[in-house]
Amino acid sequence: MTNLDLDRVAFEAAVAERYRLSGRRFGARAGAGVAKRAGTIAAALIFPASLFLVWQVASLFDLVPAQILPDPRLVLATFREFYDTGDLAFHARISLLRVLQGFALGAGAGLLLGIAMGLSRRVREFVEPLFLALAQVPALGWIPLVMLLVGIDEALKVIIIAKAALIPVTINTSRGILNVPRSYREVGEVLTFGRWQTLTRILAPASVPTVFTGIRYGLTNAWLALVAVELLASSEGLGYLMVWGRQLFQLDLVIMAMIVVGVIGFLLDWSLGLVERRLQRWEAAGS
Partner 1 sequence: MKSILRLSVAAATSLLVGVATLTPAFAEDITVRFGFAQVGVGNRQFGSGNSAAIAHAQGLVEAEFKDDPGVKIDWSFFKGAGPAVNEALANDQIDFALHGDLPAIVGRSNGLKTKIVAANGLRANIYLAVLPNSGIERIEDLKGRKIAQFRGTNLQLATDKVLAAHGLTERDVRFISMDFATATAALASGDIDGAFGQADYLGLEKQGVARVIYSTKGDDPAFTRHSHVHVTEKFEQAHPEVVARVVKVLVKAAAWASDESNRDAVFETWAKSGIPAETFRADYEGQALKLRNTPLIDDFLISAYRDQAERAKQYRLLRGEVSIDDWFEPKYVDRAIKELGLEGYWKRYDAHGVAEVAGR
User: Judged by CB under 8 A, which stretch of 106-114, 173-181, 231-239, 279-287 contacts partner 1?
Assistant: 231-239
In the complex, least distance from residue 87 CB atom to partner 1, rounded to whole angstroms: 10
Handedness of CA 13, 19, 25, 26 (dihedral sign): negative
Distance CA 2, CA 45 (A): 57
Which of 34-42, 114-122, 135-143, 228-236 is the region at the interface with partner 1 (rule: CB under 8 A)?
Answer: 228-236
- Contact flag: residue 21 with partner 1 (CB under 8 A): no
CB within 8 Å of 99: residues ≥ 6 apart: 161, 219, 222, 223, 226, 268
Interface residue with partner 1 among 92, 147, 257, 284 (CB under 8 A) is 147
Q: How far apart are CA 112 and CA 240, in angstroms?
A: 33
CA distance 84 to 69: 24
Task: Answer for the pair 72, 59: CB distance below 8 angstroms, yes or no.
Answer: yes
Binding residues with partner 1: total (CB under 8 A):
19
243 binds partner 1 (CB under 8 A): yes
Per-residue interface string for the shown chain with partner 1, residues 64-103, x marking contact by CB under 8 A: -xxxx-----------------------------------
Cβ neighbours around 1 below 10 Å, total: 7
Residue 258 interacts with partner 1 (CB under 8 A): yes or no: no
Nearer of residues 117 and 147 to partner 1, judged by Cβ: 147
- In the set 235, 266, 267, 271, which binds partner 1 (CB under 8 A)? 235
